[in-house]
Structure formats: structure tokens, C-alpha cells
Amino acid sequence: MTPSRARMITWTAAAAIVGLGVAVSQCSPSGPRTTRRAGVSDTAIAAEKTYVAPGDLDQYYMFSSGGHSGQVYVYGLPSMRHISTIPVFTPYPATGYGFDDDSKAMLGGLTWGDVHHPALSETKGEYDGRWLFVNEMNGRIARIDLRDFKTKQILGPVPNVSGNHSGAFVTPNTEYAMMGTRFSIPIPKGTYAPIDKYATEYKGVLAAVKIDPKSGAMSLGWQILMPPFDFDLGDAGKLLSDGWMFWSSYNTERATGKLEVTSTQKDRDYIAAVDWRAAEKAAAEGKGDLIGGVRVIDPKKVPGLVYLIPCGKSPHGVDVSPDGKYIIGSGKLQGVTTAFNFEKIQTAIRNKDFTGDEDGVPVLKYESVKDAEVQVGLGPLHTQFGTDGFAYTSLFVDSAITKWKLGTWEVIDKAPVSYSIGHLSAAEGDTVSPDGNYLVALNKLSHGRHLNVGPSQPESSQLIDITEEKMKLLYDAFTEPEPHYAQIVKADKLHPIEVYPKEENKHPLAVWDVNQAGVTRQGNKVTVKLVAVRSSFTPTAVEVNEGDIVTVAVTNIEQTTDELHGFGLLDYNINLVIDPGETKVVTFTAKKGVYPYYCTNFCSALHQEMQGYLIVKPR
């Protein structure tokens, strides 16, 4: 071989190697093998199914939790239009919530809350359209009256309950709204115990908040003392299992420190099954101790109230099937969801089929109470129900929903969602008679499936058609942080008012006649009765002295739909919005100077002229 020929071969080989390298580098996959378009409805069909023509109404209300925004958001289905925001735990200037004396007092000095699980009131296990209860992490629970979509009561922080994640779940006749501890602490609140005493001196608490059947008023019911597990979610038994309450828990290791490691050592955690009728009876008989002002029952001393069911590692959802027969527990670090059989649970309790106990609470034998482990996919979180025994389980890790069947345990379909679904909500999907029709995937991440709004991205809620064998994605909606759970109820179950009727306004400071509006004084306390009606306030000037304690009561004497008036007082951080027929009151200390007040909520052609002055004479 000549040197020149050898050189040529060398160069050719080198070129070939480089070429091959370039070619191989071009071969890296451009996308995943499974296309994200799977499970998407035909565009025209999806458009038709979700299109609600202007002026037409949606079929369902969806009440979506607003997470740490502290609010509840109201959507219409199937359009997925955001219709209204109900402020609950956070001031909301748009409706003046948290600015008037009453709502400010109700917020109790806290200006945020982490809203988790909305629960509609029920009668015989069906939504009755009366109230919506929502829990939040500071240990509070709120009641929204669906007659006017307003927060009417905030109870709490409920004593002893710390990190109220595992609420609000109502019993089938709204006897109770249940809640529980996520972050165990020594109780009562304010008690000191070092962290190394966590396993013994820190306590979890399960709490039943009593609901007045007529008024919906909430009061502290009774509580159950539990080991320091992290109670996560719950669902009340229904029909067959009525009278029982189920809570999932994690960190049954009773670990501290970095829980992502320390609390995931055991293969199974627990579902706590509580015979709440028996607990109610025990509380009525005066059993248990008053701790933090509430009757707390120790199951070690009152046996027969609580049992622990082993469930796949770190469970999130625990959901009772519509007939009450199955309790579906999903260990979120597993690939299966487990169906427990209520009758088997009862048999195991009768036969004392226990494998041990936790602080005196018996642990049932897993094999004796489970009916099936359903191969749903990775990271099962939460299950909802459709018609004909179909169940839908969200899969956080797989970012998908799996449809399967109760009883046969067969997996029927799996649809991808975008992305990383937490909870899901089916139309009346946690009642005794789910509607089918629609399912909403409440996703944690939207990953830019929307116009770019910068790094602070919205969550996504996806509407899925579940009327056919295969699930079909219909619509993406982008929702405020953070939809932890939602309730979807048929629109015709709600009958809200449009104005507050004059006859119902019993407010002592209300005035309905402009001639009765005006200023009265008692010492340095000044009461201003103000009338708002298109397009003026009466009076239009209020003169007080510096340092006076001024109470302004604004009555909107309109009785016409949507004729809201606002009362913005500049430089005082005062902003009321008064609905037709409503009276709102705000109290403040006058500072010298002249301050305009004006109508903030556009009311009429002469809205801009609706104004007045607060004139404060110096001392």
C-alpha cells in the first residue's frame, strides 16, 4: 500500500466516523413514544360539547378550592367559564370582603388560609344545595351559604387540630363536617414538648364539627385522640357504611426530620375507620376529657370507636363507593389502588382479626379486609365515581386518569392529563348517585399550555367527557392556585337569590329612606347612616372631629338585580361593596383633613358623580 493510499483510507474512515456520529446525534427522539394527543376528543365534537352560547346557562356549578389563595372559585360546566369568586379566608377587595366590621371580625386577624377540600351539604347522601363547607390549614372551617354565595361563618382555629388538611368531609345528612390533624403537636395548643418526644407526646386529632341541621351553624363537636400520624384525606361512609368515617394517614412511622425519607420506610400506612355514631354517643355520655375546650375521646380508654386499616404506602385519597360497600385507598408511592370491603371490615372487627395495635387502636389484618388491588398505574392519588360502577383514579406520577370498574376490578381506559394531576372531581362523583357526564382533572402543573405569563404559572383544570367507554379530553381551563378538590353539582339544585329583600334587612343601622340618613353623635362616637341609591349617597358630606370613632353604615336601598354600590374611602384603606338590600358597617378613627368617598362599583350613567366628602375638623 502506498502512503498516499493509506492516508486516503485513514481520512475516509475518519470522515465516515464523524458522519456516523453526526447521523447518530440526529437520531435522538424528538418526543415521547406515547403521544399526548391520546384521549383527546375530536376538535369539532369537543367544541360542540363545551360551547355554551352567549346568554345560555351551564349545566353544572363547580366549586373549586383556591388553595393558599384562600378563596373558592365558581365555574360553570361544561363551558369551564370562571363565573365568580367566593372570598373565604382572604380579604377580597372586589366584594369588599374583609374590609367591613363583620367580615373583618370573621377573618379574625388572619389574612390567608390554605383552602383544601370543599364539601357540599348532603341529605341522604345527595347534594342538597344548601351550604358549602371548606377547611383550611390553620385549623379553620368555613360555611358558605349557597342562597347568596357568601361566607357566613368561620369556625376556629379549632382547638387541638393542627394543620387541618383532612377536612372538610360531610356525613350523608350533614350531621358533621369532619376534619383532622396533619402536623401533629402536643395538645392543647401552646403545650411544649421536644421534637424527640414526637412519637409519644405529639398527638394527631380527628375532629367532628357539629352542623345545625336548620341554620347550618357550626360548633365544636367532639374529637378523637390519635397517634401522631399525618391525617391526609377522608370520606364519610354512605348507605351500607353510613355511620363510619374514613381518614387516610401517612408518616405512621411517627418520624420527624426530612419526612420524604423518614416517613416512607414502612410499606404500608393506615386508613383510620371511625364509628362516628359510637363516638358521638360516647361524647354525649361525657366520656373523654375536655382538652382545649373540646371533649376529646381517647380510643384506648373507649375501645370500639377506631380501627386502623393497613393501606399502601403514603396514601392520599380514601374514597367510599356510591353504594358504601368499598373503601378505595390509594398509596401514592405504589402502582395499585386498594379496594377494601366494608362488610369484611365489620367481620374482621367482630372476629378481632387484628395484627397489633397503635397506642391501643387495633390494626386490622390487611388480607382479611381487602377485596382487590387494582393495577391503575403509578402514583394513584384520589378516586371519584361515575355511573354503572365506574371509578376514576388520578395518577400523579403517570400524569393520567385510569378508569376501572368496581367489583370486576378491570382497568378499562387510561387517559393522559396535562400535567401531574392531584385530585379529580366527577359530576356529583362523591354522592350516592354520581351523574357520570363530566370529570375535571385538577392538575398541579400547566407547563406552558397557555399564553406565556411568566414564571408564575396558573394551574390547569381539564374537562373530560366520561359518557363513553373511552375518556375524552374536551377543554383546558387555567385556574387560580390551587385546586385541591372541587364539587360539581347540577345547576338546578341551587336556588340563589338575586337581591337581599328589604323585608329581611333587620340591621339596626339600616336606613331605607334618604330622609332618615344622617349623622348622630354620642360623645366622641359618631354614627353615620348612609343611603346609597343611583346615583348618589345621602348624606354627601359628613363632618366629624379628629379622633372621633366613626361608624359608617351604608345601606344600598336598591332592589334591582346587579345594582351594587361601593363605598371607597380614600387614604383609610376602606372599601365596602354593598349588594342590593344590604347594609355594611365599617368603624374607624377620624384623622384630620378632607377625604373623598365614592362609589367604586359601576352602577349607572352618573356613577362617576356618586361621591361625597368626609370632612374632619382638627382638634
Partner 1 sequence: MARKGFLERSAAFLHEPIGAAPRSVLVLAAVLVVSAHFLALWNLTMFAPQYPDGLRLDIYDHALVGGNGGQDIKEINILNHYIGMRDLAMEDFTEFKWIPFVLGGVALLLLRATVLGTVKELVDATMVFVYFGGFSLWSFGFKLYRYGHDLAPGAAVKVPPFTPPMFGYKQIANFEVYSYPRAGSYLLVAVGLLLVMALWIAWRQRRAPAS
| Interacting residues with partner 1 (CB under 8 A) | 533-535, 558-560, 605-606, 609
Residues 268, 313: contact at Cβ < 8 Å? yes
For 103, phi then psi, to 5°, come to -70, -30
Least distance from partner 1 to the Cβ atom of residue 293, Å: 46
> Which CB sits closer to partner 1, 1 or 605?
605
Residues 170, 122: contact at Cβ < 8 Å? yes
d(CA 249, CA 311): 9
Closest CA relative to residue 421, chosen from 386, 364, 460, 385: 460
> Which CB sits closer to partner 1, 434 or 581?
581
> Which CB sits closer to partner 1, 424 or 533?
533
CB-based contacts of 591: which residues, under 8 Å, 6+ apart? 546, 616
> Which CB sits closer to partner 1, 368 or 535?
535
Least distance from partner 1 to the Cβ atom of residue 533, Å: 7
Residues 305, 237: contact at Cβ < 8 Å? no
Least distance from partner 1 to the Cβ atom of residue 606, Å: 6
What are the grid coordinates assigned to 279, written together?
A: 363516638
CB-based contacts of 408: which residues, under 8 Å, 6+ apart? none
Least distance from partner 1 to the Cβ atom of residue 483, Å: 34
Least distance from partner 1 to the Cβ atom of residue 505, Å: 15
- What is 5-36 written as a DSSP string? HHHHHHHHHHHHHHHHHHHHHHTS-SS-SS-T
> Which CB sits closer to partner 1, 261 or 605?
605
d(CA 472, CA 595): 57
Side chain identity at residue 580, one-letter code: P
Closest CA relative to residue 242, chosen from 276, 200, 213, 270: 276
d(CA 563, CA 580): 6
> What is the number of alpha carbons within 13 Å of residue 158 lying toward its C-beta?
36
181 C-beta neighbours (distance < 10 Å), count: 30
> Which CB sits closer to partner 1, 349 or 514?
514
Least distance from partner 1 to the Cβ atom of residue 559, Å: 5
> Which CB sits closer to partner 1, 534 or 591?
534
> Which CB sits closer to partner 1, 42 or 609?
609
577 C-beta neighbours (distance < 10 Å), count: 24
CB-based contacts of 261: which residues, under 8 Å, 6+ apart? none
Least distance from partner 1 to the Cβ atom of residue 229, Å: 55
Least distance from partner 1 to the Cβ atom of residue 497, Å: 12
d(CA 348, CA 473): 42
> Which CB sits closer to partner 1, 571 or 609?
609
Least distance from partner 1 to the Cβ atom of residue 341, Å: 55
